[in-house]
Amino acid sequence: MLTGKAERRPRGDLARVLVIDDEADIRELLDLTVARMGLSADCAASVAQARQLLEQQRYQLCLTDMRLPDGEGLEIVRLIAERYGETPVAVITAFGNAQNAVAALKAGAFDYLAKPVALEQLRSLIKSAINLPRRSGVADGTQPAGSATQLIGHSPAIEHVRETIDKLARSQAPVYISGESGTGKELAARLIHDQSARRAAPFIPVNCGAIPDNLMESEFFGYRKGAFTGADSERDGFFQAAQGGTLFLDEVADLPLVMQVKLLRAIQEKKVRKVGSTVEESVDVRIISATHQLLKDCVDAGTFRQDLYYRVNVIELKMPPLRERREDVEPLVEALLVRLCGAHPPRLDRRAMKALEAYSFPGNVRELENILERATALCNDDTVVFDDLQLAPAVVVTDSQGREGETLDDYLNRLEKQAILEALAKTAFNRTAAARLLGVSFRSLRYRIERLGIEE
């Protein structure tokens, strides 16, 4: 029987796990499970004992209960996130207490387990945490030009995305990627997967809007032989195909409400039932979802369940449109030309490049790639000129306020500059406070101020 004192068991150079729980039988269960996996465990029964151990020893994983005699498990989560960032921490919550689990994930927890603890899920979680790669900047833009698995550019907006991806890769929390069409939402999802402990397992992308409603359940969860006419053999679904890896739900807002209920249960219980089966099977899958729609508006309109919204939107990653990162256009052009044409691509003359840098790109990076693909087919002498681009004409806005002759970009820039100046004036030019007032990040505001030439 383990006591309430901080227990330490040196076991050579084995990976170490910190177990925090005030119930002796739970500590013993976790300690034995860890030991049978060839790892070493230190046990604590309170927040104070855990703090003491964290100061003395580095851990590859921390498992903590949410309720402790002298505090909350969230205190441990926040402490580790602030001072021991390389240590993933998982929380143990009461069965069905989704609110605590979401709060822990938002605070920086790696994952969560529900009581009573299922040993299969516990072992899977421990393996994932121990196998987390060290921070190495995989997505730092150092990959070869034209690589299909990198975020290209060094604008403040894209640097912020890289930093966020690096943090998200060290968590198991569901991620919601928002952004306009063509901004690279699936690429961001792949980077999160590739830098995570799940990188050796499958990444399964699913376009939720492309699946007929009557096939939705069987496609997601699989089916048993004879479950319906034509089911000649048993088949796995997307969840089983992504076992141990990541399931990317693109255009998740297109899911019908009936399917949203079943998806919510699969995410909460980490179990699925094949069509025609009476038995649920456990699945270990991380959910990353995306849509070009505003998911909160879909909730308000009644087309997306609020409870599912809070499950898939534990952490949000916003992909910036290309018009907000114009300094990335040139490196994107260079990389895309290599991808399209190989080692000796055509070049863009100065006028063509300037035109692209000034273009609004309603279709974002995807539209840029289409423009370049068309231009390289039309160009002569290995040089792309302005006419080869065939850009859509600038939109001219005319109204009673006298904006005749002003392009849409100029008009929007003027409104954006006016809004920023008003926010800065209200906050005595405190940029941090102005960013909060405008609902943008400090980095984004700083970039916009520089782009618009705003001077204090």
Residue 176, helix vs strand vs coil: strand
Query: What's the rounded Cα separation, in Å, for the pair 362 and 380?
Result: 27
In degrees rounded to 5, what are phi and psi of residue 433?
A: -65, -35
Residue-wise pLDDT tens digits, 132-155: 876 544 443 334 333 345 899 999
Report whether 309 contacts 295 (CB < 8 A): yes
Query: Domain residues of the chain, as ranges?
Result: 16-130, 156-318, 322-389, 396-452
Rounded to two decimals, what is the model's pTM?
Answer: 0.73
Pick the CATH number of 396-452 from 1.10.579.10, 3.40.1170.10, 1.20.1070.10, 1.10.10.60: 1.10.10.60
pLDDT at 138: 40
What are the two backbone dihedrals, phi and then psi, of residue 102, each rounded to the nearest 5 degrees?
-65, -40
Give residue 304's pLDDT: 95
**156-318 matches 322-389 in fold:** no
The pLDDT tens digits for 40-89 are: 999 999 999 999 999 999 999 999 999 899 999 999 999 998 888 889 99
- DSSP secondary structure, 224-246, as one string: -TTSSTT--S-B--HHHHTTTSE
d(CA 448, CA 454): 9
Nearest to 70 by CA among 82, 83, 52: 52
Provide the token pair at 32: 């034995």
Residue with tokens 């994983």: 61
pLDDT value of residue 148: 45
The 8-class DSSP code of residue 393 comes to P
Question: How many helices (DSSP H) and strands (DSSP E) are in the chain?
Answer: 19, 18
Alpha-carbon distances, residue 417 vs 319, 441, 452 (angstroms): 22, 16, 7
Using alpha carbons, select from 165, 174, 190, 258 the residue that is nearest to residue 220.
258
* Top-level class of domain 156-318: alpha beta
Place of tokens 């029964």: 45
How many beta carbons lie within 10 A of that of residue 86, not counting itself? Answer: 12
CATH class of 322-389: mainly alpha
Per-residue pLDDT in tens (0 to 9) along the chain, 456 residues: 334 444 444 444 578 999 999 999 999 999 999 999 999 999 999 999 999 999 999 999 999 999 899 999 999 999 998 888 889 999 988 755 667 778 888 888 888 888 888 888 899 889 888 888 765 444 433 343 333 458 999 999 999 999 999 989 988 889 999 999 899 999 999 999 999 989 999 999 999 988 998 899 999 999 998 888 888 899 999 999 999 999 999 999 999 999 999 999 999 888 999 999 999 999 999 999 999 888 988 999 899 999 999 999 989 999 999 999 999 999 999 999 998 888 889 999 999 999 999 898 888 999 999 999 999 988 888 899 998 898 866 544 445 454 555 666 777 788 888 888 888 877 878 888 888 888 777 777 887 888 888 876
d(CA 277, CA 46): 43
What pLDDT score does 395 carry? 46
Amino acid type, 148: A
Sequence-distant (≥ 6) Cβ neighbours of residue 326 within 8 angstroms: 155, 357, 358, 451
pLDDT value of residue 394: 55
Q: Note whether 129 and 109 are within 8 A (CB).
A: no
User: What's the CATH code, domain 16-130?
Assistant: 3.40.50.2300
Strand order in the sheet with 89-93: 40-44, 16-20, 61-65, 89-93, 111-114
Is the torsion defined by CA of 242, 243, 247, 252 positive or negative?
positive
Locate 79 and state its tokens.
């402490």
| CA neighbor of 231 nearest in space, from 217, 243, 245 | 217
Bond preceding residue 346 cis, omega within 30 of 0: no
Q: Which of 56, 55, 91, 61 lies closest to 75, judged by CA? A: 91
